[in-house]
Chains A and B, each alone.
Chain A
């Protein structure tokens, strides 16, 4: 099983950035390397995963909320727990803001469905934050969403080998409440930097986004 789909946005170093202005608002997002904003957010096409409660997780589950998406796997001792701990702090920061975190969700997409069953995923992601959601699916569906987001992964399932190698994009993808791919956060990830930029973006997008 091997899927590798990479878009220029991630690889080519073409940092697409945009300055956001609104009437009467002085806030703007300047180009930087923490968050890459797409000037024209891209609507996502249909996909189908299963969440850690064995419910369908499809495009409709991305609507009405800002979604932070991260690809990984639970048998990952370094990057995945580091990222999930960072995202837990992002969630905490956003929850403390005036607008709160009710319109925000964090989704861990396992690229290793072979080992990551629903119950394992639930146990794993909720350890970092009780509101986190774990989802996974078959190779075709994983490749589908990864391709749409410019993410890549590679899993070398080996029979009889407990810890086979897994490679995955370490970026965090931001999908807006209209289920459009809106921005990407590139590693090294910093909770404060991500929280601040997200809050400005959410304010600027305001009701247009929903």
Chain B
């Protein structure tokens, strides 16, 4: 979904109103990006820096996006000299700390994009934290 899409434009105020809940609670995100999908592939990954500015732990419990059929919180892990992906049902952000979603570590596994994503496009991802906090993240698609 591009920013200029009329439906999205109409929804913008509502989205920002929702986003304010987590922002106000002290959780923010920066450098959010999604890797362009290689041709023929039905999956890619999303990365970002999550910041918890509050003095208590915050727990990321789910993620979703209108641009993908499924979004899962995954972590690339090493075991016995090999790397693989593991599903992380939830991720805790320690108080007053940043948590990196980056290649080779935590990432959002994005399955079955609803359209082909090209570098420069934007997609939004909805992050849900424990306590009904929601953060809408604008991600840039990069190669």
Interface flags, B48-89, vs A, CB<8A=1, else 0: 000000000000000000000000001010111111110000
Q: Which of B97-116 contact A (CB under 8 A)?
A: 103-104, 107, 109-111
Give chain A interface residues in 75-129, CB to chain B under 8 Å. Answer: 75-79, 81-82, 85, 120, 123-124, 127-128
Contact: A78 with B81, CB < 8 Å?
no
Chain A residues, Cβ within 8 Å of B44: 77, 81
Separation of A2 and B107 alpha carbons in the complex (Å): 26
Q: Mark A157-195, 1 if CB is under 8 A from B, else 0.
A: 000000101111110000000000000000110000000
Q: Given A79-B83, A154-B82, A187-B104, answer yes or no on A127-B111 (Cβ-Cβ < 8 Å).
A: no
Q: Is the CB of A77 within 8 A of B104?
A: no
A168's partner among B38, B74, B82, B109 (CB-CB below 8 A) is B82
8 contacting pairs across A/B (C-beta < 8 A): A74-B38, A75-B43, A77-B35, A82-B104, A85-B143, A128-B38, A152-B80, A187-B104
Q: How far is the CA of A31 from the CA of B116 in the complex (A)?
A: 44
A4's nearest neighbour on chain B, judged by CB, is B80
Q: What is the number of residues of chain A that contact chain B, defined by CB distance less than 8 Å?
A: 30
Find chain A residues with CB under 8 A from B107 CB. 77-78
In the complex where A187-B104, A188-B104 touch, is A127 in contact with B38 (Cβ < 8 A)?
yes
19 further A-B pairs in the complex, CB-CB below 8 A; given A4-B82, A77-B45: A4-B80, A11-B81, A74-B38, A74-B41, A75-B43, A77-B44, A77-B74, A77-B110, A78-B103, A78-B107, A81-B35, A82-B103, A120-B40, A123-B39, A123-B40, A124-B38, A152-B81, A166-B84, A168-B82
Q: Which residues of B contact A49 (CB under 8 A)?
A: none
